[in-house]
Each structure stands twice: as C-alpha cells, then as structure tokens.
C-alpha cells in the first residue's frame, strides 16, 4: 500500500540500523553493477533503434497528413519517440548509466539530446547539484524549481498565489523552463555567478533552441509542401505532449505528499547510510506496468533512481521488490502510488501551498528512547 504522510516522519532507528540499511543497499548495487553485460547493452541499443524508427515513421506519416488518420498516427509516433528519447534514453545516458559499455555513441560525455537544455548544463544542475543535495533546503534547487512552494518549510511569498497557473504553463513549456532554470540566473545578484558566465550559457541555450525550432517548425514543414501547416501542428503537438508527460512524471517523483525535505544542519557529517535514507524519504514511485516504466524513463522508480542514479534504468524494476522488502524490514516508508494518485497529490500540494501557511509542521513531542536516534539524517 502507498505510504502517504502530511508531516515529516521521525523515523527512529539506531545508528547501527541506519548503517546496516546502507550496507544492504550497497550489496544490491554491487550485485547489479557486477552483472551488467550483453543483455543490458542489447536493451539500450535496441531501444535507441526503436526510438529512431518511431521518429522516422512519425515524420513520414505527417507528410501524408491530408488524411486525418495519418496525422493522428504520425503525431502519436513522433510524440512517443520524443518521450523515449528524453526519458529512457537521454536522461539515463547523461547520468552515465551506459558509460561502462565504452561506446562513444552512447556515452554521457558525447550525448546531446532533443531538448532545449544543453547536455553539459543539465548534467551540472541535475547530476551534480540535485543528486548530491536531494531535498536539502537551500542546496537542492529542484525543490519547487526555484519557482514554486512545494513544501511547507519554504517561506511563503505572495508570488506563490499564482503558482497553480504558472505550474500549468511550466508543464506545457517544460523543456524551456528547465533550460532557463539550469542557467541559475538567481545567483547573479548575489555575486555567486558572473553575468558573463550566465550570458554564455544563455547563448548556448538559444543556439540549441534555434536548431530545434528550425528542425520542427521550419525544415520539416517546408519539406511537406502543401502539408506545411498540419506538419507544423503535428510537431508542436508532439513537443507539448512530451513536455507535459515529462513534467508529470518528474513532479510525481518529487512532490507528492510524503516526500520530505531536510536542512543543512541535519546532513552534517552524513554517512553513506544516512545519504541513502535521505534519498528514500525524499522520493516517490509510480505504480504501473512495463509500458509505464518504459515511457517514464523508469523514473516511475524514482526511489531506486535516487538511490542508484548511475545504475542502468532497465534494472530498476528488478531491484524494486528488494528495496521495498528492505524498507519493510527496517520499518521505513516506501512511498508508491498510481499515476492518478500521485498526480492528484502533487496538484493538491501545489494548490494548498500557494496560500499562506501552514508553516513548518510541528514535530511530535514524544521523546525517543535514549538508545535511538532520529534516522531522518
């Protein structure tokens, strides 16, 4: 059953328990990483080939879009190909999940993906900052993407009254929002980033966006001749579909009720076991079958992804039952629910926290036994 909580949970474990929890997770990781092989390589190569065939089929069908069924089929194929390219391929390749293959065509150092964020900027913002400081207030910029109040611990500001509206707009134009977000413009006024550096990054974003616009909204529509407008609309629909889907999956992995946040003080001298625990308590999964997991880039296994970000994504479904069983053994929550449930939870939280209050939830007054420590870092 999904675990849902409205206030941070004081998970009480001994320090020895926390470190044992970490060692058990290390065992899972070591087993999987040692067993990577041809089946995994065949998976990612086959997926890339399938994604490219879908894109080609979608664009060819759109050239025949004077026939409504061809337009619908072409748009759907193109949308699916873009989702696969971003979610299960691009995101995971850029995490270095496939670097062990030593294939320069499928490597985090060489891959560039079909989205507005240049790969190097995204890797810094996501891989380095977010995955190091997951759900740490003041350190993890992905908490609300510096634009929304998604945890009561965040101080309320009148601008948050409009967050239901601009979250809907962010969903439609998610790739562009993330590209600007990765530039970290808010660091310029504080002196933590120079205007010159930011302008250089913005130029890189603009160059990437320009190439995409030319490809999807100029070149392919022009090649379609009399079908210029239907092809343009098909490409636009595919891109918007990809954006909304990516936004939904990512928000469901980070912001439903039960996802917790931490302070910098709480993570001082953090051990490996405590780091694992923070990843667990700050993440949420989406229940579903193989198709959902594939189309989500296996971020439906957000808990497993935060625990093991460099593990090949096709292995998350394999280890998820073991991680859940380990959580049950240690009495830890494993936040998982259907897509509908997690999406509703996210939007409920965004609506509720757009208003002033509640503040930081009051901790339970019951004191823990002397021999126990608060394991939530």
Give 150's pLDDT tier (boundaries 50, 70, 90).
Answer: very high
> Which one has a higher pLDDT value, 336 or 366?
336
In the numeric block, which tokens belong to residue 175? 């790739």
How many percent of the chain have pLDDT more than 90? 88
H helices of 123-271, in order, are 131-132, 163-172, 174-182, 195-214, 220-223, 228-254
Query: For residue 12, what pLDDT is reported?
Result: 75
Beta carbons of 86 and 297 less than 8 angstroms apart: yes
* Model confidence, pTM: 0.91
Mean pLDDT of the chain: 91
Distance CA 295, CA 81 (A): 10
Non-local CB neighbours of 107 within 8 Å, separated by 6+ positions:
93, 98, 99, 101
Residue 185 has pLDDT above 80, yes or no: yes
**pLDDT average, residue stretch 123-143:** 94
What are 58-67's pLDDT values in tens digits?
Answer: 999 999 999 9
What are 203-216's pLDDT values in tens digits?
Answer: 999 999 999 999 99
**pLDDT average, residue stretch 250-275:** 94
Give 11's pLDDT tier (boundaries 50, 70, 90).
Answer: low
What are 252-262's pLDDT values in tens digits?
Answer: 999 999 999 99
**pLDDT average, residue stretch 102-119:** 96
**Paired residues of 374 in beta bridges:** 12
Domain parsing of the chain, residue ranges: 12-38+129-353
């Amino acid at each position: 059953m999904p675990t849902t909580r409205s206030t941070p949970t004081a998970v009480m474990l001994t320090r020895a328990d926390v470190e044992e929890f970490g060692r058990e997770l290390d065992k899972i990781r070591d087993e999987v990483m040692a067993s990577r092989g041809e089946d995994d390589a065949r998976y990612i190569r086959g997926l890339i080939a399938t994604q490219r065939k879908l894109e080609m089929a979608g664009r060819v069908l759109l050239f025949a879009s004077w026939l409504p069924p061809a337009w619908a089929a072409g748009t759907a194929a193109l949308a699916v190909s873009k989702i696969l390219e971003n979610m299960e391929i691009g995101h995971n390749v850029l995490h270095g999940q496939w670097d062990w293959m030593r294939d320069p065509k499928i490597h985090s150092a060489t891959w560039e993906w079909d989205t507005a964020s240049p790969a190097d900027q995204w890797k810094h913002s996501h891989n380095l900052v977010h995955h190091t400081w997951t759900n740490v207030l003041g350190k993890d910029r992905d908490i609300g993407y510096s634009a929304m109040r998604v945890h009561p611990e965040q101080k309320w500001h009148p601008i948050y009254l409009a967050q239901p509206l601009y979250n809907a707009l962010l969903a439609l134009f998610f790739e562009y929002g993330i590209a600007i977000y990765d530039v970290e413009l808010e660091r310029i006024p504080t002196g933590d980033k120079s205007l010159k550096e930011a302008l250089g990054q913005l130029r890189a974003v603009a160059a990437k966006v320009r190439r995409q616009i030319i490809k999807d909204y100029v070149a392919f529509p022009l090649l379609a001749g009399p079908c210029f407008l239907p092809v343009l609309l098909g490409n636009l629909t595919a891109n918007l579909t990809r954006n909304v889907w990516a936004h939904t999956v990512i928000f469901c992995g980070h912001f439903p009720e039960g996802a917790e946040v931490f302070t910098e003080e709480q993570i001082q001298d953090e051990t490996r076991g405590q780091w694992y625990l923070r990843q667990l308590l700050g993440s949420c999964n989406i229940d579903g079958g193989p198709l959902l997991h594939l189309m989500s880039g296996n971020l439906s296994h957000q808990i497993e992804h935060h625990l093991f970000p460099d593990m090949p994504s096709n292995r998350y479904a394999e280890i998820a039952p073991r991680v859940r069983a380990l959580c049950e053994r240690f009495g830890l929550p494993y936040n998982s629910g259907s897509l509908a449930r997690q999406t509703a939870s996210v939007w409920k939280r965004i609506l509720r926290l757009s208003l002033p209050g509640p503040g930081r939830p009051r901790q339970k007054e019951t004191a823990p036994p002397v021999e126990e420590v608060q394991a939530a870092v």
